Amino acid sequence: MIQAVRGTNDILPQEVMRWRFLEEKARSVFGRYGYEEIRTPIFEETELFIRSVGETTDIVEKQMYTIPEEGGMGITLRPEATAPVVRSFLQHNLAHEDRVQKLFYIGPMFRHERPQKGRLRQFHQIGVEVLGSGHPSLDVEVIDLLSSFLSEMGLSGAHFKVNSVGCRVCKPKYGELLKESLKSKVHALCGNCQRRFEKNVLRVLDCKNEICQAALENIPLLPDVICQDCRNHFDQVELLLAELGVSFTLAPKLVRGLDYYTRTIFEVTHANLGAQDAIAAGGRYDHLVESLGGPSVCAVGFGMGMERMLLALQNELEGKILPVRPFLFLASLGEQAFQLNFLLQKELRKLSILSEIDYEAKSFKSQFRRANKLGVKYVLIRGEDEIARKVVKLKNMVSGMEEEVSAEHVVEIILSQIKNQLSKTNELTPPTPLK
C-alpha cells in the first residue's frame, strides 16, 4: 500500500467542514476590513526566496523543496507567501496604483522540517499583506484584524506578543551590541547559535535551547536600543493597540526567523499548542519591496498556520459546524421504482433538496436502516404496487406516520413538508431549499 508522503496530511470530508469554516470566516472578516484575496502560484524562482527570506535563515538553509532547472537556481515550492505576494505586486505594477494595497491569501506552503504535532511539510496558511504605507496605524490594523478574526472564530486564550526590531539603521547596531555582550559566552552557546553568532546574531534570540536562553539573560534589549524614529513608531503602535482594546504583552526578546522584518513584529501563541509554537506571526517589512527590485514601498503583514489554528480550536468548533444531512431517503424496490426515484432525485436537486438513494437495490429493510443512520426526516417508499397505483408513500421518520400521496405531485408535497418543518423548528440543516 502506498501511503501519503511523510509530513503531509489528507483532509477527509468530515474535517474539510472545519477547514471551510475557517476559510469562510477569514474571507468574511478580512473582507469587512477591506482586504482582497490574491492567489499566486505555489512555486517560484528559488532566487525569490533566497533574496527575501534571507540566505542564513533555516528556511533557505535547509527547508526548501527545490527542483533544479538548467542555468539557474531552479524553482522552489513556496515556503511562505510574503515574497510571492510582493513579487506579484511588482510584476503587475500594483505599486503605481495610488492606494494602499490590502491583500490576503489562503493556501499550502512547503517546508522540509521534522514533522510533529502542528508542523507538517505541506502546511496551510492564511495571511495578510498591506503594501504602500509605513504608518503605525497599519501595524495596529493588521494585529486588530487578526485579533477580531480569532475572537470571531471563538478562540479564547490567544496571547499576543509584540516587539520592535528597529530599522535598517538601528537593527544592525543592535546586532553589534548583542554580539559584544555575547562575545564572552559564545563557546557556551549551542552549535547552531555559534554559527548564528557569526552570520546572523539576532537569530540567537530565537533559540529554544536552555543554555542559550541562560546566556541571553543580561543582554541589551531591542526597545532600549532602537533609534528615536523607531521608538516613536513603536510608541504609536502600543498606544493605538491599547486604545482599540487589543490585549498584548511586550516581548523585548522577540525576533522572527525571517531577515526582512523591520520595526513592529508580533506573534500569537496559544496554550493548546504548547508555549513555543505560534498560531500566527508577522510584522513590518519596509525594505523587502525595494530589495526585490521595486520602488521604496513600506509594508506589513502576518501569516497564520491553519493546522495550528484548528488544533487551538479543538473544542470551540463543536456544535458550530452542522453536518449536512439529506432531507429524505428514496427507497425503491425493483428496477422500475429505482429509475423513477433516480429521476425524482434530479427534480429535488433542482430545488436544492438533498436526498439519498440506494443504488444496489437492497431490501426495504436495509434501506430503512441506512435512512435511520443518515437521520433523514422522511423516507419515500416506491415499489411495484405503488407504481401501479401512481402513488408513493411518505414516512415521517420522527412521528412514524406514513401517508400515501400522488406520485405526480410528490415534489410539491415534499416542498410543503419542508416549509412546515422550517416554520416549526430551525433544526433543518443546510442546504435548505428556501431562501
**Site of grid cell 456544535:** 319
Identify residue 292 by its one-letter amino acid code. Answer: L
Residues 356-395 close enough to bind Zn ion by CB under 5 A: none
Candidates 9-17, 120-128, 223-231, 342-350; binding stretch for Zn ion (CB under 5 A):
223-231
Distances (CA, A) of 421 to 329, 383, 397: 16, 26, 13
In the complex, minimum distance from the CB of residue 207 to Zn ion, in angstroms, rounded to a whole number: 3
Residues 153-182 close enough to bind Zn ion by CB under 5 A: 166-167, 170
The 3-state DSSP class for residue 26 equals helix
In the complex, minimum distance from the CB of residue 252 to Zn ion, in angstroms, rounded to a whole number: 15
Distances (CA, A) of 382 to 248, 323, 404: 63, 27, 10
In the complex, minimum distance from the CB of residue 161 to Zn ion, in angstroms, rounded to a whole number: 20
Find the largest Cα–Cα distance for the chain: 97
Cis amide prior to 323 (ω within 30 degrees): no
- CA–CA distance, 308 with 311 (Å, rounded to integer): 5
Tell whether residue 193 is a contact of Zn ion (CB under 5 A).
yes
Cell numbers at 331, concatenated: 427507497
Tell whether residue 246 is a contact of Zn ion (CB under 5 A).
no
Nearer residue to Zn ion within complex by CB, 212 or 258: 212
Nearer residue to Zn ion within complex by CB, 170 or 379: 170
Q: Of these, 207, 311, 411, 428, which contacts Zn ion (CB under 5 A)?
A: 207
- CA–CA distance, 126 with 105 (Å, rounded to integer): 6
Candidates 199-207, 249-257, 391-399, 411-419; binding stretch for Zn ion (CB under 5 A):
199-207
Give the contacts of 333 (CB within 8 A, at least 6 positions apart): 361, 363, 364, 382, 383, 384
Q: Of these, 155, 202, 230, 258, which contacts Zn ion (CB under 5 A)?
A: 230
Q: Of these, 8, 66, 209, 236, which contacts Zn ion (CB under 5 A)?
A: 209
Q: How long, in residues, is the chain?
A: 435
Angle at 228 between CA 227 and CA 232, to 5 degrees: 120
Give the contacts of 303 (CB within 8 A, at least 6 positions apart): 80, 81, 82, 125, 126, 127, 280, 281, 282
In the complex, minimum distance from the CB of residue 27 to Zn ion, in angstroms, rounded to a whole number: 36
Candidates 205-213, 284-292, 306-314, 413-421; binding stretch for Zn ion (CB under 5 A):
205-213
In the complex, minimum distance from the CB of residue 166 to Zn ion, in angstroms, rounded to a whole number: 4
Nearer residue to Zn ion within complex by CB, 170 or 222: 170
Q: Of these, 11, 17, 227, 311, which contacts Zn ion (CB under 5 A)?
A: 227
In the complex, minimum distance from the CB of residue 283 to Zn ion, in angstroms, rounded to a whole number: 14
- CA–CA distance, 410 with 330 (Å, rounded to integer): 12
In the complex, minimum distance from the CB of residue 185 to Zn ion, in angstroms, rounded to a whole number: 11
- CA–CA distance, 348 with 415 (Å, rounded to integer): 9
In the complex, minimum distance from the CB of residue 167 to Zn ion, in angstroms, rounded to a whole number: 3
Query: In 200-297, which residue ranges form alpha helices assigned H by DSSP?
Result: 210-215, 222-225, 228-244, 288-291
Nearer residue to Zn ion within complex by CB, 170 or 304: 170
Q: Of these, 17, 190, 246, 413, which contacts Zn ion (CB under 5 A)?
A: 190
**Site of grid cell 505541506:** 122
Nearer residue to Zn ion within complex by CB, 91 or 213: 213
Nearer residue to Zn ion within complex by CB, 103 or 165: 165
Tell whether residue 186 is a contact of Zn ion (CB under 5 A).
no
In the complex, minimum distance from the CB of residue 373 to Zn ion, in angstroms, rounded to a whole number: 55
In the complex, minimum distance from the CB of residue 203 to Zn ion, in angstroms, rounded to a whole number: 9
Candidates 220-228, 237-245, 359-367, 383-391; binding stretch for Zn ion (CB under 5 A):
220-228
Between strands 75-77 and 122-131, the pairing is unpaired
Cell numbers at 335, concatenated: 428496477
| Binding stretches for Zn ion (CB under 5 A) | 166-167, 170, 190, 193, 207, 209, 212, 227, 230
